Amino acid sequence: MRTFIKRFISSLLFILLVVFTLFIAPTWFFSLITTLLIGVGLYEFYTMVEKRDIFVFRYFGIILGVLVPLSIHLKAGGIIPDIEPLLIVLICLITVMVQLTRRDSSEALKRMSVTLFGILYISWLFSFIIKIKFLTNGAPLCAFLILVTKGGDIGAYLVGSLVGKHALIPRISPKKSVEGLIGGLLFSFVIAILFRPFLQFIPFYHILILGALLGILGQMGDLSESLIKRDCDVKDASSIFPGLGGALDILDSLLFTTPVFYFYLKMLFNL
């Protein structure tokens, strides 16, 4: 019960922050919060990995990682040209150069691969939310993405806690159940339908597709982080958000839904 109360309070505060950031604060503040979450998420990821005795370029990874959302914000604001592809190439190049400066070349491939994976997995994937925010109707689109995705998280937790009996993938996450997965998908689907009045420009059948698609991808994102945490033998990425864990625990389900949602909008609605 105590864990539920902590989770409820942290979730409520998180929702209030999201509402303020999306609909009240200027766009630069939204990008700043996104960048901070990415930076903390990268720090948590590299800290977890080092518990597996895998040395990574932690601070280089964090610095290079936060450059991605910053460059996207500056490009979307018309301040700089589109340097995102070049930046990804430079990040790979700099990672290799940092390794070349080291005297110890043992496990070089593992060190570089994990450092780059963290940047691509956390920074690049979640940075797409800044691109969504700069689209026409960007604020309600971001709200839809977050509510449908995180609503699936809440549904999976509630249904799994109440009636979960059949383990989903016990070798990855013993507490996740088949019932929780179904509950999470239903929550995402229902929230997408309820949000329809705020996205009148999107046909209803696309809302249904997005509800199912984001629900599935959100659960996949949650399982992917569970896989990483299981391999690193940790319960939560950190404890900075009581009841919820760390920044990475908040971002996990959004890491796959965010870029897919962006490309869905761009390809089908040309926003």
Tell me: the pLDDT tens digits for 112-145?
Answer: 999 999 999 999 999 999 999 999 999 999 999 9
Highest mean pLDDT among 7-16, 62-71, 233-242: 62-71
Q: What pLDDT score does 235 carry?
A: 76
**pTM to 2 decimal places:** 0.91
Span 161-174, mean pLDDT? Answer: 77
173-177, 188-192, 222-226: the lowest-pLDDT one: 173-177
> Does residue 162 surpass a pLDDT of 90?
no
Location of structure tokens 């969504």: 132
- HEC secondary structure over the chain: CHHHHHHHHHHHHHHHHHHHHHHCCCHHHHHHHHHHHHHHHHHHHHHHHHCCCCCCCHHHHHHHHHHHHHHHHHHHCCCCCCCHHHHHHHHHHHHHHHHHCCCCCCCHHHHHHHHHHHHHHHHHHHCHHHHHHCCCCHHHHHHHHHHHHHHHHHHHHHHHHHHCCCEEECCCEEEEEHHHHHHHHHHHHHHHHHCHHHCCCCCHHHHHHHHHHHHHHHHHHHHHHHHHHHHHCCCCCCCCECCCECHHHHHCCHHHHHHHHHHHHHHHHCC
- Residue 176: what are its φ and ψ, rounded to 5°? -80, 135
Model confidence at 1: pLDDT above 70: no
Angstrom distance (rounded) from CA 124 to CA 238: 21
pLDDT reported for residue 128: 97
CA distance 220 to 205: 23
Judge whether residue 38 has pLDDT over 90: yes
Determine what percent of the chain is predicted with pLDDT higher than 90: 55
Question: Two tokens at 218?
Answer: 């959100």
> CB–CB of 35/116 below 8 Å?
no
Res. 206 pLDDT band, cuts 50 70 90: very high
What's the pLDDT score for residue 230?
A: 84
Q: Is the pLDDT assigned to residue 3 strictly greater than 70?
A: no
User: Rounded to 10 degrees, what is the CA torsion of 142, 146, 148, 150?
Assistant: 180
Predicted confidence at residue 195, as pLDDT, reads: 94
Burial class (CB in 10 A: 0-12, 13-18, 19+), 83: middle
In this model, does residue 41 exceed pLDDT 90?
yes
- Say which residue the tokens 């691509």 belong to: 120
pLDDT, residue 4, reads: 62
Give the chain's mean pLDDT: 89
Percentage of the chain with pLDDT > 70? Answer: 94
Q: What is the pLDDT of residue 270?
A: 77
Per-residue pLDDT, 147: 93
In terms of Cβ atoms closer than 10 Å to its own Cβ (0-12, 13-18, 19+), residue 55 is middle
